[in-house]
């Protein structure tokens, strides 16, 4: 079922819900799915209104590219009609500017929620904001023509759409530094070797592979999946003793719920 909402089409997004699977399609293929503030606002809105039954969220791009990143019109003095430009944002005070970026980040942050598993299905280019959107997802399945690039530093900016932490967590500081500061393109096979992708498949098999993964994820009990994601996601920030305590807490709740059911 396609969910229609004011602004989704203008934001270049399509949003469909099929039972427990939601699919967000970046849908401006003629502009390689370039993203604007409207895209990020719409993403945040999808996260805020996500139907309760949804357990897997797939993000994909229409056409040959996942996303060519921020709409380059944002760099022009005129900007994007109705949304201003980076130059007009620069005129905001510190607090207002901080809030503007935080609003954009909202579009990316919810994809980490424990109740869902988010999957980026990446074909072709994922540049800048496109790469960061893929990094915001829990899992990345790449077509063999995927090309990842953190272009922001080459344009005088920093990556600020929640991508720096997952990048460092996945590939380590030296490699993250090298990828960002050279703004080079990382191909699918290298991305897989670096841990940036769970799987690389021939382009024609991307959709089916993601559908199979979603089905496999849905076969696991929701409560167990949510608790396990919460546990794993928190592990890096805890000591072993703290993690053991977290395991005990989650397991106590699981066992109680299982036995209350039977
Ligand atoms: N913003 C706005 N329009 C874009 C963008 C973009 N980021 N990327 C592509 N387009 C438009 C092109 O201008 C072109 O429009 P036109 O047909 O009206 O001329 C159309 O999309 C197709 O682009 P091509 O370059 O012809 O497509 P191709 O498949 O050959 O190349 C590629 C794709 C590699 C993505 C190239 O378009 C590109 O390098 N785009 C810019 C990438 C970029 O620098 N993004 C900013 C990253 S930084 C950040 O996101 C914060």
Distance, CA of 142 to CA of 94 (rounded, Å):
38
* Mean pLDDT for all residues in the chain: 96
User: Residue 121 Cα, ligand 1 centroid: separation in angstroms?
Assistant: 19
pLDDT digits (tens, 9 = 90+) for 25-50: 999 999 999 999 999 999 999 999 99
pLDDT digits (tens, 9 = 90+) for 51-62: 999 999 999 999
Distance, CA of 110 to CA of 118 (rounded, Å):
9
From the alpha carbon of 147, which atom of ligand 1 is closest?
Answer: 34
User: Residue 31 Cα, ligand 1 centroid: separation in angstroms?
Assistant: 6
Where residue 261 falls among pLDDT bands split at 50, 70, 90?
low
Report domain 8-218's class. Answer: alpha beta
32's tokens: 């390689």
Mutate to test the pocket of ligand 1, among 29, 37, 68 (most ligand atoms within 8 A of CB): 68
Q: What distance separates the 2 farthest-apart alpha carbons in the chain?
A: 64
Give the residues surrounding ligand 1 with Cβ less than 6 Å away. Answer: 31-32, 34, 64-65, 68-72, 125, 127-129, 151-152, 155, 157
Where residue 3 falls among pLDDT bands split at 50, 70, 90?
confident
- State whether the Cα torsion 141-144-145-146 is positive or negative: positive
> For atom 45 of ligand 1, which residue has the closest CA?
69
Listed by start position, the domains of the chain span 8-218, 222-261
Report domain 222-261's class. Answer: mainly alpha
């Amino acid at each position: 079922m396609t969910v229609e909402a004011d602004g989704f089409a203008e934001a270049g997004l399509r949003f469909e819900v099929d039972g427990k699977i939601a699919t967000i399609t970046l849908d401006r293929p003629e502009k390689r799915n370039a993203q604007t503030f409207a895209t990020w606002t719409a993403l945040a809105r999808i996260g805020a209104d996500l139907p309760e039954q949804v357990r897997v969220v797939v993000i994909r791009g229409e056409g040959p590219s996942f996303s060519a990143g921020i709409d380059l019109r944002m760099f022009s003095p005129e900007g994007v009609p109705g949304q201003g430009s980076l130059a007009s944002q620069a005129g905001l005070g510190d607090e207002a500017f901080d809030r503007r970026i935080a609003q954009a980040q909202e579009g990316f942050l919810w994809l980490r929620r424990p109740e869902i598993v988010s999957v980026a299905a990446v074909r072709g280019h994922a540049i800048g904001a496109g790469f960061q959107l893929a990094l915001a997802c829990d899992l990345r399945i790449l077509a063999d023509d995927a090309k990842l690039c953190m272009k922001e530093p080459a344009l005088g900016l920093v990556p600020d759409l929640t991508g720096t932490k997952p990048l460092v967590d996945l590939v380590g500081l030296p490699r993250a530094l090298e990828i960002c500061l050279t703004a080079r393109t990382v191909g699918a096979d290298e991305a897989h070797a670096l841990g940036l992708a769970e799987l690389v498949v021939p382009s024609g098999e991307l959709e089916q592979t993601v559908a199979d993964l979603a089905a496999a994820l849905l076969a696991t009990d929701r409560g167990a999946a949510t608790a396990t994601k919460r546990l794993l996601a928190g592990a890096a920030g805890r000591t072993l003793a703290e993690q053991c305590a977290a395991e005990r807490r989650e397991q106590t709740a699981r066992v109680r719920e299982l036995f209350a059911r039977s």
